[in-house]
């Protein structure tokens, strides 16, 4: 060490001494900082391999949607030696929470399009097929192509299906034509819906906004489409040209009572008439009429624009299988314990996402909360331990009330508000939740797919 | 639902992932500029105060611009802001942009404003009287007095 080095060393030690730090403290802090920086830049950017549990279990995940990919990433990371198989034919991945923004002209479709391949972890066997039959008694599933895939543990993450044919006269092809819109399912349909909404916003007339009976994914979407359409009209100065009607199937607009109170007052204030107990049963696109099954009998209304939300269900293959609940209230959905997300009759079967027969929560936010629980409990089952992880029913809806502001509604099975950020009131409209919806939630969603949150 | 620190970091990284194509070259460019600055100023005086102040000025300008335009950029408007949360978030985000742009601008400012005159040869320097103290000794210009021959 030359004289200059010695001078530097003594200067550093003096500086550290002034701060009350020893050389060892400094090295420890530097090491911590380096580790933190390393974790931030490498571990967070790329899924890690901190495998904790060694097993040779065969795990099958059915469905490569948000829940399926997230489960695949987490299981692949946390299990050493497991044979993980993902079954889904779809190559495209849709960011479905963004479809309301596409259907109201805020986003273009490209923003919601992604590829499953980007998120399927290496080491996971991806079978490009769909499950046609579940055989839980023999621990196997059979695909469309007739392939039999056996498993020791099954994770069901199929999502749900939209049943257009349950509204008489309605079909997927109609969307975007003759004043028919439907925000759900695919970016292409949401884009076509925007064409119909855009025309209605310009020309006005009678707008009907419907909601079906039963569970649907993102139950806030029909409300958001209604409010954003109205907001677009105000923006273009055409609000006076339109008559807007919201027709829920029951006597409430939203499952969370505070949000329901807000909406029940807000809709009439902005001139949106509410027609309680009006589930849609049929449309006649040529005559532009819609028929509703009301307590007083069928009622037919004319429209210039109609937002049709068809009934939804578990995919047929699951609904007709032994895995489906046989009785109400969740008949046809995957029969899981609402807290452990383990199947009630088949202990080696778990579920996450829209497919689960649980009271609320067919949202991406629910997926974010359900996946860690389902994965952890499956791993504990593999280890022969009791399930300890519990899902409290958390779900969230950034309820967009106008272009540029929203209410961040988060709640659980008890329908109590559970704000993630207590400074953001779940009872008032703010700009911040709008920015979250418009700019940040897609990033959160992708972090979820990578198993990071 | 609580977000952990690592969770928030993961979301932030995902948010910027789409901008890596721009951010990474910018950061590399800044580092190269910094390296070049130190190379170019070998044997010269380095002035940090003025580039620092200029970068701060640039950051303040960005902050003000962000404050004015962010609601519009987010497809909203000032009318939609309600309550302390919205205003504090807007200010916080604007400060963030201001700091980011100030940091990115600093290496450029160093090149534009931070290169001082060459050091005098040691033999000449020993004949000079010490330069008067200034805010930053490194950028002290030789005073008239220091240019007078001593003795």
Q: Does the pLDDT at position A346 exceed 60?
A: yes
A445: closest chain B residue by CA:
B11
Q: Which residues of A touch B83 (CB under 8 A)?
A: 425, 428, 430
Among the ranges given (A21-25, A328-332, A375-379), the one the predictor scored with the smallest mean pLDDT: A21-25
Percent of chain A past pLDDT 70, that is, above it, reads: 89
Alpha carbon of B92: minimum distance to chain A alpha carbons (Å):
12
Alpha carbon of B82: minimum distance to chain A alpha carbons (Å):
6
Strand partners, A409: A397
How high is the pLDDT of residue A275?
Answer: 98
Do A282 and A168 meet the contact criterion of CB atoms below 8 Å apart?
yes
Which one has a higher pLDDT value, B145 or A305?
A305
Burial class (CB in 10 A: 0-12, 13-18, 19+), B144: exposed
- What domains are defined for chain A? 53-89+128-160+314-382 (3.50.50.60), 164-312 (3.50.50.60)
Predicted ipTM? 0.78
CA distance A374 to A366: 12
For B74, the closest of A435, A443, A453 (CB atoms) is A435
C-beta atoms of B76 and A396 within 8 A:
no
How high is the pLDDT of residue A50?
Answer: 54
Query: Hey, is the C-beta of A36 within 8 angstroms of any chain B C-beta?
Result: no
Considering chain A, what is the average pLDDT of its residues? 91
pLDDT band at residue A10 using 50, 70 and 90 as cut-offs = low
Packing angle, helices A66-78 and A364-382, rounded to 10: 30
- Residues A352-358, mean pLDDT to the nearest whole number: 98
C-beta atoms of B85 and A403 within 8 A:
no
How high is the pLDDT of residue A35?
Answer: 41
Looking at residue A193, what DSSP letter applies?
H
Residue ranges, chain B, pLDDT below 50? 125, 129, 131-151
Interface of B with A (CB under 8 A): 1-4, 6-7, 9-15, 17, 71, 74-77, 79-83, 85-86, 89-90
B15: closest chain A residue by CA:
A443
Alpha carbon of A420: minimum distance to chain B alpha carbons (Å):
5
How high is the pLDDT of residue B45?
Answer: 86
Do A355 and A435 meet the contact criterion of CB atoms below 8 Å apart?
no
Instruction: Tell me the per-residue pLDDT of A156-189, one tens digit each, with 9 for 90 and over.
Output: 999 999 999 999 999 999 999 999 999 999 999 9
pLDDT band at residue A421 using 50, 70 and 90 as cut-offs = confident
Of the residues A180, A218, A223, A312, only one is catalytic, namely A218
Long-range contacts, stretch B10-16, CB < 8 angstroms, 24+ apart: B10/A44, B10/A447, B10/A450, B10/A452, B10/A453, B11/A440, B11/A443, B11/A444, B11/A447, B11/A453, B12/A443, B13/A40, B13/A44, B13/A45, B13/A447, B14/A443, B14/A444, B14/A446, B14/A447, B14/A450, B14/A452, B15/A439, B15/A440, B15/A443
Main-chain dihedrals φ then ψ at residue A149, nearest 5 degrees: -120, 120
How high is the pLDDT of residue B136?
Answer: 44
Alpha carbon of A45: minimum distance to chain B alpha carbons (Å):
7
A218 has catalytic annotation: yes
Query: Hey, is the C-beta of A425 within 8 angstroms of any chain B C-beta?
Result: yes
A449: closest chain B residue by CA:
B14
A397 has catalytic annotation: yes
Instruction: Tell me the per-residue pLDDT of A194-227, one tens digit each, with 9 for 90 and over.
Output: 999 999 999 999 999 999 999 999 999 999 999 9
How high is the pLDDT of residue A419?
Answer: 92
CA distance A97 to A92: 15
- Per DSSP (E only), the strands in A321-404 are 349-351, 395-402
Instruction: Tell me the per-residue pLDDT of A393-410, one tens digit each, with 9 for 90 and over.
Output: 999 999 999 999 999 999
Interface test with A, best of B16, B70, B84, B86 (most A CBs within 10 A): B86
Which pair of tokens denotes residue A326?
């046989």
Instruction: Tell me the per-residue pLDDT of A89-112, one tens digit each, with 9 for 90 and over.
Output: 999 999 999 999 999 999 999 999
C-beta atoms of A431 and B80 within 8 A:
yes
For B11, the closest of A405, A429, A453 (CB atoms) is A453
C-beta atoms of A431 and B75 within 8 A:
no
Instruction: Tell me the per-residue pLDDT of A257-273, one tens digit each, with 9 for 90 and over.
Output: 999 999 999 999 999 99
CA dist A249 to A253, B37, B39, Å? 9, 69, 73
Burial class (CB in 10 A: 0-12, 13-18, 19+), B25: exposed
Instruction: Tell me the per-residue pLDDT of A429-448, one tens digit each, with 9 for 90 and over.
Output: 999 999 999 999 999 999 99
Which pair of tokens denotes residue B69?
């335009």
Q: Which helix (H) or strand (E) holds A154?
A: strand A153-156
Looking at residue A239, what DSSP letter applies?
G
Alpha carbon of B20: minimum distance to chain A alpha carbons (Å):
12
CA dist B68 to A310, B63, B85, B87, B94, Å? 43, 9, 17, 12, 9
Instruction: Tell me the per-residue pLDDT of A45-85, one tens digit each, with 9 for 90 and over.
Output: 544 445 579 999 999 999 999 999 999 999 999 999 999 99
CA dist A435 to A91, A301, A441, B16, B64, Å? 29, 37, 9, 15, 19
Q: Which helix (H) or strand (E) holds B116?
A: strand B115-118
Q: Which residues of A touch B82 (CB under 8 A)?
A: 405, 428-431
């Amino acid at each position: 060490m030359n004289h200059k080095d010695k001078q530097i060393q003594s200067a550093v030690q003096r500086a550290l001494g002034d701060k009350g730090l020893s050389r060892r403290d400094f090295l420890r802090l530097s090491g911590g900082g380096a580790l933190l920086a390393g974790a931030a830049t490498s571990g967070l950017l790329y899924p890690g391999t901190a495998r904790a549990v060694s097993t040779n279990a065969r795990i099958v995940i059915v469905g490569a949607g948000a829940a399926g990919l997230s489960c695949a990433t987490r299981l692949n990371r946390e299990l050493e030696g497991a044979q993980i198989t993902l079954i889904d034919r779809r190559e495209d991945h849709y960011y479905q929470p963004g479809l309301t923004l596409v259907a109201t002209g805020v986003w273009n479709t490209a923003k919601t399009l992604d590829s499953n391949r980007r998120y399927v972890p290496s080491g996971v066997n991806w079978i490009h097929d769909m499950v046609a039959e579940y055989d839980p008694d023999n621990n196997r599933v059979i695909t469309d192509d007739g392939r039999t895939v056996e498993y020791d543990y099954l994770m069901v993450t199929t999502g749900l299906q939209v049943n257009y044919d349950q509204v008489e006269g309605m079909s997927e092809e109609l969307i975007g034509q003759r004043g028919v819109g439907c925000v759900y399912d695919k970016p292409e349909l949401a884009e076509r819906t925007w064409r119909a909404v855009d025309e209605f916003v310009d020309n006005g007339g009678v707008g009907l906004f419907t909601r079906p009976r039963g569970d649907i994914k993102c139950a806030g979407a029909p409300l958001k489409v209604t409010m954003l359409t109205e907001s677009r009209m105000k923006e273009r100065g055409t609000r006076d040209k339109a008559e807007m009607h919201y027709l829920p199937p029951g006597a409430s607009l939203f499952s969370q009572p505070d949000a329901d109170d807000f909406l029940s007052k807000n809709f009439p204030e902005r001139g949106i008439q509410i027609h309680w107990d009006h589930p849609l049963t049929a449309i006649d696109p040529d005559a532009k009429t819609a028929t509703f099954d009301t307590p007083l009998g069928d009622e037919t209304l004319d429209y210039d624009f109609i937002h049709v939300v068809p009934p939804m269900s578990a995919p047929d293959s699951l609904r007709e299988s032994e895995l489906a609940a046989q009785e109400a209230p969740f008949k046809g959905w995957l029969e899981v314990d609402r807290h452990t997300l383990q199947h009630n009759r088949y202990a080696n079967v778990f579920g996450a996402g829209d497919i689960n027969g649980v009271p609320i929560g067919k949202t991406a936010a629910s997926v974010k909360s359900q996946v860690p629980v389902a994965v952890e409990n499956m791993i504990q089952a593999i280890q022969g331990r009791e399930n300890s992880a519990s899902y409290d029913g958390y779900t969230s809806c950034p309820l967009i009330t106008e272009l540029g502001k929203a209410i961040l509604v988060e709640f659980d099975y008890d329908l109590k508000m559970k704000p993630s950020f207590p400074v953001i009131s779940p009872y008032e409209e703010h700009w911040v939740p709008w920015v979250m919806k418009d700019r940040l939630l897609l990033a959160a969603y992708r972090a979820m797919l990578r198993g990071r949150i | 639902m609580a977000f952990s620190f690592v969770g928030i970091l993961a979301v932030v990284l995902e948010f910027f992932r789409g901008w890596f194509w721009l951010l990474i070259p910018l950061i590399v460019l800044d580092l190269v500029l910094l390296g070049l600055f130190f190379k170019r100023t070998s044997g010269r005086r380095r002035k940090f105060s003025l580039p620092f102040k200029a970068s701060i000025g640039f950051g303040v300008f960005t902050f003000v611009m962000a404050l004015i335009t962010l609601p519009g950029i987010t497809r909203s408007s000032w009318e939609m802001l309600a309550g302390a949360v919205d205003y504090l978030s807007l200010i916080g985000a604007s400060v963030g942009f201001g700091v980011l742009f100030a940091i990115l601008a600093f290496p450029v400012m160093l090149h534009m404003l931070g290169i001082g005159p060459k050091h005098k040869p040691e033999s000449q320097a020993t004949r000079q009287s010490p330069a008067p103290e200034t805010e930053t000794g490194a950028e002290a210009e030789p005073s008239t007095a220091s240019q007078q021959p001593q003795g």
